[in-house]
Amino acid sequence: MFTGIVQGVGFRPFIYRLAHRYSLSGFVQNRSDGVVVEVEGDAGDIEVFLEHVSQELPLVASVSGIRSEDLETTGDRGFRVITSEKTDAMEVHISPDIATCEKCLKELFDPEDRRFRYAFINCTNCGPRLTIIKDIPYDRENTSMECFPMCKECSREYSDPLDRRFHAEPNACPECGPQLWLLDSSGRKIDTPDPVERAVDLISEGYILAIKGLGGFHLSVDAGNDEAVKRLRDRKFREEKPLAVMVKDVTHARLVSEVGQVEERILRSPERPIVLLRKKNGILSPYIAPGMYTYGIMLPYTPLHHLLLEKRFNALVMTSANHKDEPICTGNREALDRLNGIADFFLVHNRDILVRCDDSIVFVPSSGMSLVRRSRGFSPRPIRISEPLPGVLALGGHMKTSVCVLKHDMAFLSPHVGDLETPLARDFLFKSISLMERITSTRPDCVASDLHPDYYSTRLAQKLGRRRVVQVQHHHAHIVSCMAENMVSGSVIGIAMDGTGYGTDGAVWGGEFLLCDEASFQRAGHIGYFVLPGGERAVKEPWRVALSLLREAFGRSWKEIATGLSLVEDSSLLPVLEAVIERRINSPQTSSLGRLFDGIAAIVGLRRKVSFEGQAAMELEALARLSEGIELGYGIVSQGDKLILDLLPTVREIAKGMLEGIPREFLARSFHETLISAFADMALSLAASTGLGRVVLSGGCFQNRILVEGLMDRLTGKGVDVFFHHLIPTNDGGISLGQAVCAGYRIKNKA
């Protein structure tokens, strides 16, 4: 019995061909609990067969377990693929969606092939998987392809174990499979012999198209057309947040960005994520990613994408088709309704998307690939953890939410859910819970959630009616998520840096140094508290954070400094803000590094307000890349059983530097260099006092490459083992894993 990702990935035809190679008889069968293989033949041939199973697995197959037993011989002749069987036990791992393979691409553009320019070409090595499934085992009748009976030729391919389309469940052709058509904004079908060619013409003319893909719709325009890009931003109310771009191939990616060997490998991978690549020259519209030093670039991953990019464009904007804080559209009628007033035309098809799945996003620090958003291509591939744990359903936080189901020694994360601000997003969370429990065939008794009492996910955990609810502190969950994916057990020093997390003292944490293991933590240190004037308003208006920092750093002279830096348009507001800060009127204390980044960005004149979360910090990193820097002043002081990192000297030097005319890019880089030194000193102090030599990094601020690379280099240079994320986002998209593992250990240890 083989378990893991062994269905829908060409595993049975692979076994069939391997058995024939070594003249073995028997059968291979899909079951709900895996793939059963029975072989009979010479003992030496069977041994070689088993060796080659692990050595020659299909590209996206993954075996997580093998169980075997000796049986009496039956005298069978020949090897067969037999009908699937459903059992009570379910151990099948569903494959993520896979980018179009090279063999299918060759057929797609071959005029002699019967699938020439067919937008739904696929085989066992590529195509939709998770997004079309409604049940397991992964057979055609359990997918949205059930309503497309195969023609005679497709049936022949599907039934031939030597054909690469043998049991390719989405197998189809122009005669029997899904079809494309083009609609105007009112939903009327446009009469055209070639919907793709007409769509290309419309994009060339500057129109906005909604295009139905694998896991949802994209909104698309020509990425070189300034007016079209601006119109898309205006209609979508997406003022400045970067837009994803799709290019034809790596050659075109190099026209607009810097692509190294690792980046190229990731771009070409079957997962086909969006890869954050450093910008180059001016081929793309400046409105694609204003203020950023990177573009989000991806290669085509469906036949339709390849057809759209075949001849006409250097690049297309391919951004999620949704309104702010809403999930991506999946249905044709839904898209016409929700995208009314945004898209001019709709390129749709009649293969239903059963599982919503956004594009994944990757950045590439020196330590290797690290996910920013884990969704299409990666989810629901499981993460193996270091030991079996009780079952847990974890609901994540409030932003960048994902759902995690813990089953034995495997953690299954849902596709990216997103921020839980809207009813549609919350409905998506419910569907994600149902999906993950269905495909893992489990309904855990325990639900894990964040501590924050006002998070929707925290309240939902109490309402689901499960036997036990375990609340996990936000930053502890961050660290445990990184421990889990790196199979690190026991005590570590955790450095968790982000924008917001509810602390056990009621403050807003976000600059944390923890001593922890999987089940518990001690707050060993943090960035010194400062006040967030106006609470949530300060998150959207960094000038407020800047004023608070200046007041802490300069005392009575802070108003003169603030006026000199032009942080407020009306200086008469300063006494009012001082009263708000002093009396803490709707103004919590925070240790947040994310908010500190915001405040420094305002002090150096980058941004007084932000239009999306993390914008000021991202722009400060982009500015810092233009210069070298120096280490500025900071202090580490003991306060009871904690170390407090005092960064007010850093604030003072940056503010004075701005008033003295020092280039702001130098100050921005110096801020980064100071953080690297300060964090390393804090970690090394804790290592010396505890004897711990392992440091774990997590939290959204570590998406900053200067910071994470610099800190890892500094600590490893001192002989410390440093662990960072690769398979799970370092931002809040990964905390459901940490919640699940923490809850599992607490239950196991009866904590």
Residue-number span of the structural domain to which 20 is assigned: 2-85
Last-in-domain residue among 301, 334, 349: 349
Name the pairing type of β-strands 294-298 and 274-278.
Answer: antiparallel
8-state DSSP, 586: T
pLDDT value at 68 more than 90: no
Rounded Cα distance, 710 and 708, in Å:
6
DSSP secondary structure, 168-227, as one string:
-TT---TTTS--EEEEETTSPBP--S-HHHHHHHHHHTT--EEEE-SSSEEEEEETT-HH
3-state secondary structure of 427: helix
pLDDT in tens, 319-376: 999 988 899 999 999 999 999 999 999 999 999 999 999 999 999 999 999 999 999 9
Hey, which residues does 729 pair with through a beta bridge?
none
Question: Is there a single domain that holds both residue 555 and residue 668?
Answer: yes
**Residue 372 placed within a domain:** no
Q: What are phi and psi of 296, to 5 degrees?
A: -95, 105
CA separation for the pair 58, 436 (Å, rounded): 25
Confidence band, pLDDT 50/70/90 cuts, at residue 138: confident
Q: Look up tokens 């722009």; give the residue.
A: 619
Peptide bond into 137 cis (omega under 30): yes
The DSSP 8-state label assigned to residue 269 in this structure reads: S
| pLDDT the model gives residue 493 | 98
Residues 498 and 535 in one domain: no
CA–CA gap between residue 211 and residue 672 (Å, rounded): 41
Residue 227 has pLDDT above 80, yes or no: yes
Q: Are 457 and 469 in contact (CB under 8 A)?
A: no
Closest Cα partner for 58 from 1, 12, 121, 110?
12
- pLDDT the model gives residue 450: 97
Does 545 lie in the same domain as 436?
no
Instruction: Return d(Cα 377, Cα 410) in angstroms, integer.
Output: 18
Helix (H) or strand (E) holding 264: helix 261-268
pLDDT at 531 over 70: yes
Kindly report, residue by residue over 268-298, the tens digit of the pLDDT.
999 999 999 999 987 899 999 999 999 999 9
- Confidence at residue 318, expressed as pLDDT on a 0 to 100 scale: 98
Across the range 659-680, mean pLDDT stands at 98
Q: What is the pLDDT of residue 89?
A: 57
- Nearest CA among 283, 213, 209 for reference residue 253: 283
Provide the pLDDT for residue 56.
Answer: 80
The answer to whether position 335 is within a domain reads yes
Q: Do 197 and 275 reside in the same domain of the chain?
A: yes
Residue 220 has pLDDT above 80, yes or no: yes
Give the Cα separation of 210 and 206 in Å (integer).
Answer: 13
**Angle of CA points 515, 521, 527, to nearest 5°:** 60
Q: Residue 53: which of 4, 93, 18 has the closest Cα?
A: 18
Q: Which two tokens stand for residue 693?
A: 């030599």
Whole-number Cα distances in Å, 719 to 624, 685, 692 = 28, 14, 11
- 506 contacts: CB under 8 Å, gap ≥ 6: 588
Q: Give, to the nearest 10 degrees, the angle between helix 648-659 and helix 542-554.
A: 100
Give the H/E segment covering residue 345: strand 345-349
Residues 568, 571, 577, 582, Cα dihedral to 10°: 120
**Are 397 and 518 in a shared domain?**
yes
Provide the 3-class DSSP secondary structure of residue 40.
strand
From CA 372, how far away is CA 123, in angstroms rounded?
Answer: 29
3 state DSSP class of 653:
helix
Residue 50 lies in a domain: yes
pTM of the model: 0.93
Beta strands in 6-61 (DSSP E): 25-31, 34-40
Query: Residue 150: which of 120, 128, 172, 180 has the closest Cα?
Result: 172
Per-residue pLDDT at 91 = 63
Tokens of 6: 């062994």
- 645: three-class secondary structure by DSSP: strand
**Are 341 and 302 found together in one domain?**
yes
Angle between helices 705-716 and 615-624 (to 10 degrees): 60
Whether the pLDDT of residue 720 is over 70: the answer is yes
Amino acid, res. 590: T
Does residue 518 sit in the same domain as residue 531?
A: no
Q: How far apart are CA 389 and CA 398, in angstroms?
A: 25
Query: Would you tell me how many other CB atoms lie within 10 Å of the CB of residue 714?
Result: 18
Q: Give yes or no for a contact between 379 and 217, defined as CB atoms under 8 angstroms apart.
A: no
Identity at 554, one-letter amino acid code: F
Give the range among 62-76, 92-106, 274-288, 687-701 with minimum mean pLDDT: 62-76
Residue at 448 is within a domain: yes
Is there a contact between 228 and 234 (Cβ–Cβ < 8 Å)? no
* Section 133-142 average pLDDT: 86
Residue 87 has pLDDT above 70, yes or no: no
Do both 22 and 73 map to the same domain? yes
552: in domain? yes
| Angle at CA of residue 248, ends 246 and 253, nearest 5° | 70
The string of pLDDT tens digits covering residues 412-464 is 999 999 999 999 999 999 999 999 999 898 999 999 999 999 999 999 999 99
Helix (H) or strand (E) holding 296: strand 294-298
Burial of 713 (0-12, 13-18, 19+ CB in 10 A): middle
Cβ count near 586 (within 10 Å): 13
H helix or E strand, kind and range, residue 686: helix 664-690
Q: Check which CATH number belongs to the domain holding 225 and give it.
A: 3.90.870.40
By CB atoms closer than 10 A (0-12, 13-18, 19+), residue 492 is: buried
Please compute the mean of the pLDDT values over residues 77-105 and round it to a whole number.
81
The 468-472 sheet, strands edge to edge: 404-413, 383-394, 446-450, 468-472
Instruction: Give domain status of residue 149, yes or no.
Output: no
**Domain ends where: 67, 85, 103?**
85
User: How far apart are the C-alpha atoms of 368 and 371, rounded to whole Å?
Assistant: 10
Residue-by-residue DSSP string for 118-147: -TT--BTTBB-SGGGBSSSS--GGGBTTTT
Q: Is residue 152 part of a domain?
A: no
Cβ neighbours around 66 below 10 Å, total: 14
Cβ burial of 385 (10 Å; 0-12, 13-18, 19+) is buried
Give the tens place of pLDDT for each residue, 577-592.
889 999 888 899 999 9
DSSP string, 459-492: HHHHHS--SEEEEE-HHHHHHHHHHHHTT--S-E
Among 32, 52, 85, where does a domain finish? 85
CATH classification of the domain holding 491: 3.30.420.360
| Residue 381, phi then psi, degrees to nearest 5 | -55, 125
Are 475 and 699 in contact by the 8 Å Cβ rule? The answer is yes
Q: What is the pLDDT of residue 272?
A: 97
Report the distance separating Cα 724 and Cα 112, nearest Å: 49
Question: Mean pLDDT of all residues in the chain?
Answer: 93
pLDDT level of residue 88 (50, 70, 90 thresholds): low
User: Which of 42-46, 74-78, 129-133 is least confident?
Assistant: 74-78
CATH number at residue 10: 3.30.70.100
- Cα–Cα distance between 427 and 733 in angstroms, integer? 18
Give the total number of structural domains in the chain: 4
Are 469 and 533 contained in the same domain?
no
pLDDT for 58 equals: 77
In this structure, the number of other CB atoms found within 10 A of the CB of residue 70 comes to: 5
Q: What angle do CA 549, 554, 557 make, to 5 degrees?
A: 120
Residues 71 and 188 in one domain: no
Task: Give dist(CA 217, CA 353) in Å, integer.
Answer: 10
The predicted-structure confidence for 472-492, as pLDDT tens digits, reads as follows: 999 999 999 999 999 999 999
For the cut 80, the answer to whether the pLDDT of residue 8 exceeds it is no
First to last CA, the chain: 36
The answer to the question of residue 657 being in a domain is yes
Residues 517, 418, single domain; the answer is yes
Cβ pair 315, 247 in contact under 8 A: yes
Contact in structure between 243 and 288 (CB atoms under 8 Å): yes
Query: Same structural domain for residues 540 and 666?
Result: yes
Residue 736: pLDDT over 70: yes
* Least confident stretch, 32-46, 123-137, 631-645: 32-46
